[in-house]
Amino acid sequence: MSDMRNGVSPEPLLEVRRLTAGFDAGPVLFGIDLEVAPSELVALVGANGAGKSTLLGVLSGLVRATSGSISLAGEDVTNARPEVLVRKGVAHVPQGRRLFGTMSVEKNLLLGAYLRRDGEIRGDLVRVLDLFPALKDKLSREAGTLSGGEQQMVAIGRGLMARPKLLMVDELSLGLAPKVVDHLIEVIQQINREGTALILVEQDVLVALDAANRAYVLENGRVALSGKAADVKEDPGVRRAYLGL
Amino acid sequence: MADFVQLVVLGLLAGGVYVAVGIGFGLVWGVLNIVNLAHGALVIIGGYITWQLFSAFHIDPFLSLPVDAVALFVLGYTLQRGVINRIIRAPLLFTFLLTFGLNLVIINVLLLMFGSDFRSVTPSYSGQGLELGNVVVPYTRLASLGVAILTAAALAFVLNRTRIGLAINAISADRDAAQLVGIDLRHAYAMTYGLGAACAGVAGGLIAMIQAITPTAGEPYTLQAFVVVILGGLGRVSATVVGGLAFGLVEAFGQSIPGSGSVFANAIAFGLMVLVLVTRPQGLMGRLR
What ipTM score was computed for the predicted complex, to two decimals?
0.91
To the nearest whole angstrom, how far is the Cα of A238 from the nearest Cα of chain B? 32
| Alpha carbons B267 and B223: distance in angstroms, whole number | 12
- Interchain CB distance below 8 Å, A60 and B174: no
To the nearest whole angstrom, how far is the Cα of B289 from the nearest Cα of chain A? 9
Backbone phi and psi for residue B217, each to the nearest 5 degrees, phi listed first: -65, -15
Bridge pairing between strands A41-46 and A197-202: parallel
Q: Is A61 on the interface with B (CB under 8 A)?
A: yes
Distance from the first to the final alpha carbon of chain A: 18
CB A4 within 8 A of CB A232: yes
Please state whether B179 falls in left (phi above 0), alpha (psi between -120 and 50) or beta: alpha
| Alpha carbons A102 and A113: distance in angstroms, whole number | 18
CA contacts within 13 A on the Cβ side of B233: 15
Q: Is B164 on the interface with A (CB under 8 A)?
A: no
- Interchain CB distance below 8 Å, B173 and A103: yes
Residues of A in contact with B179 (CB under 8 A): 61-62, 82-83
CB pairs under 8 A between A and B: 59
Beta strand ranges found along chain B (DSSP E): 129-132, 135-138
Among B161, B162, B164, B180, which would you mutate to test the A interface (most chain A Cβ atoms within 10 Å of its Cβ)?
A: B180
Helix, coil or strand: residue B156:
helix
Angle, in degrees to the nearest 10, between helices B2-32 and B39-57: 120
Across the interface, of A83, A98, A158, the residue whose CB is closest to B176 is: A98
Q: Please list the residue range(s) of chain A that carry CATH number 3.40.50.300.
A: 1-89+166-245
Across the interface, of A83, A98, A107, the residue whose CB is closest to B177 is: A98
To the nearest whole angstrom, how far is the Cα of A122 from the nearest Cα of chain B? 16
CATH of range A1-89+166-245; options 3.40.1160.10, 3.20.20.150, 3.40.50.300, 3.30.450.40? 3.40.50.300
Q: Where are the domains of chain B?
A: 9-279
Helix (H) or strand (E) holding B222: helix B219-232
Question: Other C-beta atoms within 10 Å of B222: how many?
Answer: 23
Alpha helices in chain A (DSSP H): 52-59, 82-88, 105-112, 121-131, 148-160, 178-193, 205-211, 229-234, 236-241
To the nearest whole angstrom, how far is the Cα of A100 from the nearest Cα of chain B? 6
Q: Whats the size of chain B, residue-wise?
A: 289
**What's the order of all strands across the beta sheet hosting A222-228?**
A3-4, A222-228, A214-219, A41-46, A197-202, A166-170, A90-93
Q: Is A221 on the interface with B (CB under 8 A)?
A: no
Q: Is A92 on the interface with B (CB under 8 A)?
A: yes
- Interchain CB distance below 8 Å, A158 and B184: no
Helix, coil or strand: residue A51:
coil
Across the interface, of B176, B183, B184, the residue whose CB is closest to A62 is: B176
Q: Is B184 on the interface with A (CB under 8 A)?
A: yes
Q: Is B173 on the interface with A (CB under 8 A)?
A: yes
| Alpha carbons B257 and A176: distance in angstroms, whole number | 62
Q: Is B180 on the interface with A (CB under 8 A)?
A: yes
Q: For every one of its 245 residues, what pLDDT tens digit does chain A have, with 9 covering 90 and above?
A: 444 445 545 689 999 999 999 998 889 999 999 999 999 999 999 988 899 999 999 999 999 999 999 999 999 999 999 999 999 999 999 999 999 999 999 999 999 999 999 999 999 999 999 999 999 999 999 999 999 999 999 999 999 999 999 999 999 999 999 999 999 999 999 999 999 999 999 988 999 999 999 999 999 999 999 999 999 999 998 898 887 77
- Interchain CB distance below 8 Å, B166 and A111: yes
Q: For every one of its 289 residues, what pLDDT tens digit does chain B have, with 9 covering 90 and above?
A: 668 888 999 999 999 999 999 999 999 999 999 999 999 999 999 999 999 999 999 999 999 999 999 999 999 999 999 999 998 888 888 999 999 999 999 999 999 999 999 999 999 888 888 888 888 888 999 999 999 999 999 999 999 999 999 999 999 999 999 999 999 999 999 999 999 999 999 999 999 999 999 999 999 999 999 999 999 988 899 999 999 999 999 988 888 877 766 677 778 878 888 888 898 888 888 765 4
To the nearest whole angstrom, how far is the Cα of A43 from the nearest Cα of chain B? 21
- Interchain CB distance below 8 Å, B167 and A114: yes
| Alpha carbons B270 and B276: distance in angstroms, whole number | 10
Across the interface, of A94, A102, A158, the residue whose CB is closest to B176 is: A94
CATH of domain B9-279: 1.10.3470
Among B181, B184, B287, which would you mutate to test the A interface (most chain A Cβ atoms within 10 Å of its Cβ)?
A: B181
Burial of B115 by CB count in 10 Å (0-12 exposed, 13-18 middle, 19+ buried)?
Answer: exposed
Backbone phi and psi for residue B142, each to the nearest 5 degrees, phi listed first: -65, -45
Instruction: State how far the alpha carbon of B166 is from the alpha carbons of A105, A129, A158, B176, in Å.
Output: 14, 22, 15, 15
